Amino acid sequence: MTPYSGLAGSGSPAGWLAVAGLGPGGAQWVTPEVSQALADATDIVGYRSYVARVEPRPGLVLHASDNGDELERAAHALRLAEHGRRVVVVSSGDPGVFAMAAAVFEALEQGPLAWRALDLRVLPGVSAMLAAAAQVGAPLGHDFCAINLSDNLKPWDLLEHRLRLALQGDFVIALYNPRSQARPHGFARALELLRGTCGEAEAARRPLVFARCVCTPRQHLRVVTLSQARPEMADMRTLVIVGSSQSRLIARDGVPWVYAPRSAPRAGR
């Protein structure tokens, strides 16, 4: 990326757009690539609480928006870059996992053809699921699925379909956005589905990880069995990991380790 040419706002070809992942929390999980982009930027665009994680400095314009129209936020960022600004769209975790990158490409596809010639990059980050997994061991050490439990943009029946198939395949399952004030009941239904499909005996042993505000000062980790899991254990800042039939616990002081062994027995056990 070229350093800022001083022609901001003039339609300078030096404009660019980086869609960056800030990682799960503190500065020790921000990649040097992302730090550099933030240092070179003229504009930061994103959801309020993610923009708040960027150090303000003179000349840096912060465009903090409420959670809402991600497509319009993406188009705004593309327009800024088109006009010569050096723009970083910030997401928590990784921008490509249930975050802003998909919205930027949706906006790009729907927008003017000129946007396709923009200097556009996606800068990966440590996703919430990888950070949460690391805090409790290696629960994603075997084949796994990542499912966004929000049904804002997809029908609930598709979510249930995917949960059933994921269980059938004995995948470990990472659940993003399990529960919010606007969607208080979905996660309860998901837990019922998981328990109903697994059966009582299996639910009494299968581990679930609740990782709230992972890698922040408010981090709270909890490992319970599927039987013990309650909807209230999750909120919109919680990443839930549902173990497979092979997932194992290692007791220790505090939260136990959870891991998925690398090997697996035959299908259909």
Task: Look up residue 124 and give its DSSP letter.
Answer: -
**H-helix segments, the chain:** 32-40, 48-51, 70-82, 100-110, 128-136, 156-168, 186-198, 200-203
Interacting residues with a copy of itself between 222 and 251 (CB under 8 A)? 248, 250-251
* Nearest residue (CB) to a copy of itself, 51 versus 136: 136
Residue 89 neighbours by CB under 8 Å, 6+ apart: 17, 18, 19, 20, 45, 46, 73, 74, 77, 95, 100, 104
* Nearest residue (CB) to a copy of itself, 8 versus 166: 166
Interacting residues with a copy of itself between 145 and 164 (CB under 8 A)? 145-148, 153-155, 157-158, 161-162
CB of 121 to a copy of itself, least distance (A): 8
User: Mask: binding to a copy of itself, 55-94, rule CB under 8 A, as x and -?
Assistant: ---------------x-----------------------x
Residue 15 neighbours by CB under 8 Å, 6+ apart: 8, 80, 81, 82, 83, 84, 85, 86, 87, 118, 119
186 binds a copy of itself (CB under 8 A): no
Q: Residues 170, 246: contact at Cβ < 8 Å? A: yes
User: Mask: binding to a copy of itself, 95-114, rule CB under 8 A, as x and -?
Assistant: xxxxx-xxxxxx-xx-----
32 binds a copy of itself (CB under 8 A): yes
CA dist 104 and 79 (Å) reads 11
CA dist 223 and 207 (Å) reads 7
49 binds a copy of itself (CB under 8 A): no
201 binds a copy of itself (CB under 8 A): no
Q: Residues 142, 264: contact at Cβ < 8 Å? A: yes
Tell me phi and psi for residue 53, to 5 degrees.
-85, -5
Interacting residues with a copy of itself between 4 and 23 (CB under 8 A)? 21, 23
How do 172-176 and 238-242 pair as beta strands? antiparallel
Task: Look up residue 180 and give its DSSP letter.
Answer: B
267 binds a copy of itself (CB under 8 A): yes
CB of 54 to a copy of itself, least distance (A): 16
207 binds a copy of itself (CB under 8 A): no
CB of 69 to a copy of itself, least distance (A): 12
Among 137, 186, 207, 243, binds a copy of itself (CB under 8 A): 137
259 binds a copy of itself (CB under 8 A): yes
